[in-house]
Structures are given as structure tokens and as C-alpha cells.
């Protein structure tokens, strides 16, 4: 076994690998760029080596710097994580020349499966179902248009070396191909150093299912069941779960055996994932097609670990060291259900625009929920077991994989992921319920985040039914995300909480300087407005009523506090009774009350003393200025392309500019018919948020 390994990656996956290595008694080396000098993974490793400036192209993507760090520290092996150099044959070959083990598959397998075009050819030769499409070199946009017409719309354009949702565009017609083909080429070149593109038929009502495989260097290969990854946005996975609510035991076996056969055909070992597209229109579940094989660890690997008890990172290390797998296919079972949500730095209320900046506050739910450590291990089977945290309410556990810390910065140079939230429970509904509670407990301030959106998905009736496709988000949120639906149960709790904290804030004002007059009162009468409806809230010494009905809640609040935990009890509950429900509520003071966020919904809550409420109609409301004549940059980024010039007439939906942020290109379009009056920024300019790109007349 190795005594020291280097992690050729950053962020949460670097932390994840370091923790497993430490449990195995292996020393670790981190490499870091300027932007990551104070990152948690650097502090967590036993040693750390600086490898260059912040851009990945000048640090994490330079193999020579990684190898030099290995030689400098005496690391015997390197784990690439995912992304960056994880699927570069040149990196694995360079390590081998220096006598350093690559903790991953053999070079020939990376070459065979890492190229999306060549892998489809091999899969077809091996008798694996592949999606109809054009497998070969595409010369230019005109060639792409001809190919797309021959295949039949809709089609998917993909960068050959792509992954992680980058370098992908869905085209429903010729216009979409002409607009998107060059963007796909640029994203492929910028992110993976390869601008080749292939085009394939887009399967309607598709589900994205993937099979986790694991092999050793002695010819043993197993599959560790499937993951459902259908909920995606811009082809970037958002929610993953294991097992899939769609896959039957017969289908699982057919998929697994086919994927193992494909892996065996290329001499595969280590961890890998075969991605499949499944037609949801086929009730038999037999219409599944090979998409690609990722010759690395996947972002969503924790859900597989949760239901199988196999630590995939440990197995990768043991396989690289020459050990045999300690278990066979018959030993792999399915225990319970696991769900993973990706917490991103993006604003779902503003079209999911990327958000960067300092994490003024970051507290993951495991700290808030006061969960005890839990380690599941099997001494007879090396490599089984993962470190997690028990759910405070029992019946499952919460795991948070992250690589950030309070005070750190979400940088524009890397992926916008803040954390991965994984829950496990005996059933799917219980795992989803645990996700809702854990998401409510996240405390994130600074950059925007998608916690509310994830919570809304976990509560959505269609998600709960398991009727998923890759179009879930576009179909269920066609006009964007505006918050989760709220029931009367939650509204009553929010009204009671609003009255309670308004009373506490009023009492504080009285204590400071007596500005409200009179002695401190034990309660008060308030009018609380939520979603345009008014509710009468009355607080007495030992009771709260909302619209005349008693609401029994327990909370601790200090004026100025930004987060409260609330327990709801039955009206006749005794001292030893457990709460009926729990809520984590984020608070922001406003001019007339509070902005209260819980369970995926953000509420503007107006709170007025009951005797003042009748005067509210006379309050003056500030009307926001009209900015529709400006094309404003919605996020920090690079102006890649201007599609128009001064004096050009534009129509609604027409592309005006393309801005690259966090490795993704975003096309900004005209919202109405107009004429371009003035252009304020040039191609290649670095733009800040809200910077005016051009003005319309």
C-alpha cells in the first residue's frame, strides 16, 4: 500500500479523497493555485505545494507542475479526482514515466472511452445500443446543419472531450444549430483543449441513468447498481439518487452486465461510470442507449456509497496498489435510498445566474442539526464504510461533502459548487423529507445559492411520484423559479413566528430608549400580510393565535438574528411530547417587516401593529426605475462575442451578446423589438455584475 499520495484536484473532491486516505493511514499532498491558498483542502492535507496562478489553465491543468510536486514531496501515487486532468491520457503516461502510480484506469481505457466519438464506435462494435447520430469529424457550421437535417430534429451537439454539462447544446431547428455550434466548439476548446464536436439524435422524454462499475487489475469487474441523474439544468446534473425509481431488477441486471462487458472489452479497472439514456416513453424499460463512459470518479458517487456501503475512493486506491476486489457481484446489494443535491453559487430567482463572492456566513446542516458521528464499517470487507452524520430525528443520515469555509470565496475561476448534500434513509420519501429539513438548515450568506430551488424540487409532487425526465426543470419551471408552493400549515407557522419576532424587536426598542413608550408588554396584536393576504396574530403571555386558531411553536430569537429554528407542537402537547414538525427560517429585515425563507419559498412578510394596519393604504411605495432599454451583464464574466452593432434593428429573442462565466457561455437576448443605440463594451472585456453592455432605442 502507498504511504503518501498526491491529490491533483481542489475543493470538495480533494477534501473527500484526503479524508479517506487519512482513514487508511496514508499521508496526503495537496496542490493549490493562488485562489486556493487558504482553502480548506490545503489545510486538511499533510503537505501542500503551490503550483501557479488562479486560472486552471495555468495551474491545475499543467501536468508538469503536478508531477514536479509529486517528486518534490515523495508522493508515490496521484489521484486526479474528477475534471481537470482526470481523463487525460498524457497525464497518466507522464506519471508512469516517472514511476508514479495513477489512481485511475489504464491509459488505453482512458483513450478508448474518454473520446466521445471513438467510444461510440467501440460500443457499437461491442454490440451495445448507441443513440443514432453522426460519429465522425464535423468540418464547420454548414456541415453541422446538413448532418442535423439528416438525423432529424431535435439533435444534441456535444464536445467530443466534454463532460459536466459543458460543451453541449440542444437544437430544435437549423437556427439553433447555427447559433450554438461555434459555442460548443469554444466551450470544448476552453474547458478540455479539444474543439471536436459530434451530433446525435435527442431522445424524447429521456431519463439519464448511469451504472457505476469497479474493477481491479486481476480481471474482476462488478457493477454497483445504478444512479438516476435525470434532473438537470443546461445538461448539468442537479439532483442524483440511487437506486432509480424507474429501473426494475431485470433492467438493472441487463444494464449492469452490458456495462461490465463493455469495460472488460477495453481492459478496464478502477472506478468508472457508463452513462445511458433511457426512453421514458417505453414502459418496458428496455430502450436504453449508451451515451458515454466516464473513466473517473463521478461527482455523484456518494449516493452509490450510501446504498452499497462501498467507499469508492478507497477501492480506487487499493486497486491502484494492485489489490484484488474483496467482494464479488453477488455481494453487492441495495440498502435503502440515497439522494444528492448539488448546492451551487447561483441565483435561481434571476434565471440561475452564476454568483461569486465571499461566503460571509457558511454553516452546513450537520452543524446546525447537532448530529452525532456515524461510521459504518465491515472489518471482514476492507473498504466498506463511509463517515456521515446521523439525522437528529433518527431513521437516516445526512452527509455534506464540501470544500469551502466561512470567510472563503467562491471564485470565478472554478466550478460554482458550494457543497453536495447527501441524505440516506430506508425509503425514498424519507430521504427526500430529510433533504428538505437539511436544506432548511443551511446558513449561506454572501453569494446567491440554489438551496430554495433544491428544496422545491424535493417537495414537488412530480419528483415524489418518480416521473422524471431530463426536461423536468424546463417543464415544471417554464417561467423560471419563483419559490416553492406554500400550504396553509406553513403560512400559519410563519405568521406566528412573524408576530413573535416583531414583539421581541419592539420590546428591544422599548428597552433601549423607551421610544415606543410604556412598559414592556408580554405580547401584542399584529396584522401580518403574506402573499397578499392579511392575518390577525395575537400574542398573549402563554399563547399565540393566528386568525383565532391556536398555534403552538417553540423558538429562541435574539433581535437581529438572521436564522431561527422553529418547532411546531400540537395545541394540547405536553412537556414530553415530540414536535409535529420543524422549520429552519432565514430572516432578513425589511422596511415594513421581514423577508422569511423556509422550505424553498421566500416570503415578503409585512408586519404592522393591529392599530396601525388601517393606515397602511396611505403609505407611499417606491417604483423601481425602468432599465429595459439597457442590456445589463447579469453576472461577472468575459464578453466573448457581440452579435450586433450600433444601428442594428433587433427582434425579441435575438442574441445580443455572449458572456462566459464559470466555464459556461451565456447568450443574452433581446426582450423586445428595438434598435441598438450605443455599445459600451468590447469583445474580450471583463464585465462586472450590472455593467451596461449596450443601450437600445
Task: Judge whether 456 and 462 are in contact, CB under 8 Å.
Answer: no
Q: Are residues 634 and 590 in the same domain?
A: no
> Is residue 142 domain-resident?
no
Predicted local confidence at residue 165, as pLDDT: 65
> How many CB atoms lie under 10 A from the CB of residue 136?
13
Closest by alpha carbon to 499, among 555, 443, 452? 555
**Of 37-51, 221-235, 373-387, which gets the smallest average pLDDT?**
373-387
HEC profile of 250-280: HHHHHHHHHHHHHHHHCCCCEEEEEEEEEEC
> Is residue 472 domain-resident?
yes
Q: Are residues 218 and 323 in the same domain?
A: yes
Beta bridge partners of 207: 278
484-535 residue pLDDT tens: 988 898 999 999 999 999 988 887 766 666 555 554 444 689 999 998 899 9
Output the nine-digit C-alpha cell for 651. 427582434
HEC profile of 108-133: HHHHHHHCHHHHHHHHHHCCCCECCE
Q: Are residues 569 and 667 in the same domain?
A: no
Closest by alpha carbon to 418, among 400, 431, 435, 432? 400
> Is residue 113 domain-resident?
no
Greatest distance between any 2 Cα atoms in the chain: 86
**Whether pLDDT at 271 is above 60:** yes
Predicted local confidence at residue 374, as pLDDT: 31
**Of 94-98, 123-127, 344-348, 435-439, which gets the smallest average pLDDT?**
123-127
**Domain residues for 372?**
203-476
Predicted local confidence at residue 74, as pLDDT: 97
Domain final position from 437, 453, 476: 476
Calculate what percentage of the chain has a pLDDT beyond 70.
91
Q: Are residues 586 and 673 in the same domain?
A: no
What does DSSP assign to residue 384? B
The CATH number assigned to the domain holding 280 equals: 3.30.470.20
401-424 residue pLDDT tens: 999 999 998 888 888 899 999 999
> Is residue 605 domain-resident?
yes
Closest by alpha carbon to 353, among 687, 661, 694, 670? 661
Predicted local confidence at residue 369, as pLDDT: 42
Domain final position from 81, 103, 125: 103
**Whether pLDDT at 139 is above 60:** yes
Predicted local confidence at residue 511, as pLDDT: 64
Predicted local confidence at residue 281, as pLDDT: 62
Q: Are residues 549 and 648 in the same domain?
A: no
597-635 residue pLDDT tens: 999 999 999 999 888 888 777 766 667 777 788 999 988
Q: How many domains does the chain have?
A: 4
Predicted local confidence at residue 50, as pLDDT: 98
> Is residue 320 domain-resident?
yes
The CATH number assigned to the domain holding 27 equals: 3.40.50.20
Q: Compute the distance between CA of residue 482 and CA of residue 354 in angstroms, rounded to an integer.
A: 17
Q: How confident is the model at residue 298 (pLDDT cuts 50, 70, 90)?
A: very high
**Whether pLDDT at 384 is above 50:** no
Task: Judge whether 54 and 411 are in contact, CB under 8 Å.
Answer: yes
Task: Judge whether 227 and 241 are in contact, CB under 8 Å.
Answer: yes
> How does DSSP assign 267-319, residue by residue?
T--EEEEEEEEEETT-TTS--EEEEEEE-S--TTHHHHHHHH-B-HHHHHHHH
The CATH number assigned to the domain holding 671 equals: 2.40.50.100
Predicted local confidence at residue 375, as pLDDT: 34
Output the nine-digit C-alpha cell for 466. 418518480
Q: Are residues 658 and 547 in the same domain?
A: no
Give every strand in the sheet of 133-134, ordered side by side.
133-134, 197-201, 155-163, 166-171
Cα Rg of the chain (Å, integer):
27
Q: How confident is the model at residue 119 (pLDDT cuts 50, 70, 90)?
A: confident
> Is residue 198 domain-resident?
no
> Is residue 625 domain-resident?
no
Active site residue 665: no
Q: Are residues 216 and 335 in the same domain?
A: yes
Domain final position from 452, 476, 500: 476
Beta bridge partners of 584: 565
> Is residue 235 domain-resident?
yes
Q: Are residues 259 and 350 in the same domain?
A: yes
The CATH number assigned to the domain holding 575 equals: 3.30.700.30
Predicted local confidence at residue 134, as pLDDT: 85
Output the nine-digit C-alpha cell for 127. 454490440
Q: Are residues 382 and 238 in the same domain?
A: yes
Q: How far is CA 153 from CA 146, 288, 292, 441, in A?
A: 11, 20, 21, 44
196-249 residue pLDDT tens: 888 988 887 889 999 999 999 999 999 999 999 999 988 889 999 999 999 999
Q: Are residues 458 and 553 in the same domain?
A: no
Q: Are residues 273 and 408 in the same domain?
A: yes
- Which helix or strand (DSSP H or E) is residue 198 part of? strand 197-201
pLDDT, average across residues 300-308: 96
- The answer to pTM > 0.85 is no
Residues 76, 101, 182, 292: which is the catalytic one? 292
Q: Are residues 462 and 526 in the same domain?
A: no
pLDDT, average across residues 95-103: 97
Amino acid at each position: 500500500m502507498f504511504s503518501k499520495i498526491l491529490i491533483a484536484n481542489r475543493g470538495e473532491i480533494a477534501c473527500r479523497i484526503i479524508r479517506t486516505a487519512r482513514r487508511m493511514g496514508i499521508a496526503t499532498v495537496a496542490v493549490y493555485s493562488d485562489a486556493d491558498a487558504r482553502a480548506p483542502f490545503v489545510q486538511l492535507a499533510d503537505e501542500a505545494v503551490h503550483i501557479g496562478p488562479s486560472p486552471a489553465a495555468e495551474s491545475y491543468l499543467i501536468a508538469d507542475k503536478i508531477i514536479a510536486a509529486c517528486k518534490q514531496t515523495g508522493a508515490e501515487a496521484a489521484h486526479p479526482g474528477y475534471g481537470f486532468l482526470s481523463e487525460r491520457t498524457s497525464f497518466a503516461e507522464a506519471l508512469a514515466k516517472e514511476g508514479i502510480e495513477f489512481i485511475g484506469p489504464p491509459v488505453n481505457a482512458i483513450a478508448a472511452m474518454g473520446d466521445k466519438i471513438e467510444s461510440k464506435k467501440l460500443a457499437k462494435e461491442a454490440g451495445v445500443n448507441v443513440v443514432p447520430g453522426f460519429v465522425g469529424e464535423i468540418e464547420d457550421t454548414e456541415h453541422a446543419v446538413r448532418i442535423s437535417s439528416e438525423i432529424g430534429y431535435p439533435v444534441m451537439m456535444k464536445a467530443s472531450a466534454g463532460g459536466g454539462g459543458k460543451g453541449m447544446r440542444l437544437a430544435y431547428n437549423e437556427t439553433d444549430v447555427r447559433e450554438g455550434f461555434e459555442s460548443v466548439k469554444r466551450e470544448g476548446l476552453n474547458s478540455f483543449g479539444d474543439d471536436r464536436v459530434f451530433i446525435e439524435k435527442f431522445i424524447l422524454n429521456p431519463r439519464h441513468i448511469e451504472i457505476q462499475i469497479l474493477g481491479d487489475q486481476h480481471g474482476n469487474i462488478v457493477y454497483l447498481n445504478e444512479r438516476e441523474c435525470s434532473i438537470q439544468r443546461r445538461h448539468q446534473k442537479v439532483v442524483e439518487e440511487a437506486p432509480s425509481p424507474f429501473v426494475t431488477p431485470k433492467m438493472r441486471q441487463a444494464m449492469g452486465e452490458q456495462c461490465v462487458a463493455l469495460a472488460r472489452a477495453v481492459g478496464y479497472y478502477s472506478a468508472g461510470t457508463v452513462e445511458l439514456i433511457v426512453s421514458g416513453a417505453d414502459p418496458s424499460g428496455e430502450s436504453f442507449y449508451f451515451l458515454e463512459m466516464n473513466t473517473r470518479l463521478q461527482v455523484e458517487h456518494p449516493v452509490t456509497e450510501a446504498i452499497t456501503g462501498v467507499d469508492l475512493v478507497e477501492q480506487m486506491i487499493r486497486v491502484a496498489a494492485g489489490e484484488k476486489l474483496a467482494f464479488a457481484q453477488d455481494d453487492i446489494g441495495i440498502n435503502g435510498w440515497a439522494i444528492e443535491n448539488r448546492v451551487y453559487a447561483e441565483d435561481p430567482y434571476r434565471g440561475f445566474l452564476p454568483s461569486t463572492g465571499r461566503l460571509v456566513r457558511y454553516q452546513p446542516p450537520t452543524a446546525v442539526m447537532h448530529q452525532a458521528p456515524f461510521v459504518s464499517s465491515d472489518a471482514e470487507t476492507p473498504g466498506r464504510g463511509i463517515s456521515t452524520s446521523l439525522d437528529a430525528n433518527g431513521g437516516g443520515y445526512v452527509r455534506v461533502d464540501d470544500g469551502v469555509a466561512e470567510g472563503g470565496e467562491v471564485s470565478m475561476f472554478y466550478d460554482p459548487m458550494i457543497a453536495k448534500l447527501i441524505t440516506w434513509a430506508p425509503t425514498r420519501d424519507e430521504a427526500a423529507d430529510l433533504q428538505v429539513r437539511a436544506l432548511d438548515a443551511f446558513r449561506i450568506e454572501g453569494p446567491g445559492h440554489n438551496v430554495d430551488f433544491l428544496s422545491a424540487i424535493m417537495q414537488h409532487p412530480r419528483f415524489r411520484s418518480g416521473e422524471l425526465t431530463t426536461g423536468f426543470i424546463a417543464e415544471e419551471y417554464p417561467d423560471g423559479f419563483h419559490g416553492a408552493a406554500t400550504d396553509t400549515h406553513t403560512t400559519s407557522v410563519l405568521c406566528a413566528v412573524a408576530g413573535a419576532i416583531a414583539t421581541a424587536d419592539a420590546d428591544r426598542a422599548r428597552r433601549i430608549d423607551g421610544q415606543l413608550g410604556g412598559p414592556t408588554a408580554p405580547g401584542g396584536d399584529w396584522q401580518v400580510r403574506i402573499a397578499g393576504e392579511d392575518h390577525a396574530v395575537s400574542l398573549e403571555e402563554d399563547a399565540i393565535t393566528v386568525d383565532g386558531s391556536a398555534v403552538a411553536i417553540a423558538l429562541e430569537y435574539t433581535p437581529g438574528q438572521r436564522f431561527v429554528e422553529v418547532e411546531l407542537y400540537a395545541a394540547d402537547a405536553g412537556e414530553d411530547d415530540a414536535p409535529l414538525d420543524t422549520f429552519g427560517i432565514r430572516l432578513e429585515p425589511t422596511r415594513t417587516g421581514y423577508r422569511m425563507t423556509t422550505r424553498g419559498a421566500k416570503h415578503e412578510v409585512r408586519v404592522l401593529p393591529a392599530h396601525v394596519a388601517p393606515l397602511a393604504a396611505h403609505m407611499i411605495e417606491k417604483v423601481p426605475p425602468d432599465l429595459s432599454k439597457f442590456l445589463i451583464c447579469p453576472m461577472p464574466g468575459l464578453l466573448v462575442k457581440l452579435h450586433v452593432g450600433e444601428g442594428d434593428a433587433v427582434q425579441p429573442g435575438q442574441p445580443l451578446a455572449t458572456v462566459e462565466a464559470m466555464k459556461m457561455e451565456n447568450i443574452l437576448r433581446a426582450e423586445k423589438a428595438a434598435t441598438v443605440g450605443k455599445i459600451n463594451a468590447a469583445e474580450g472585456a471583463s464585465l462586472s455584475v450590472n455593467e451596461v453592455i449596450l443601450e437600445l432605442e
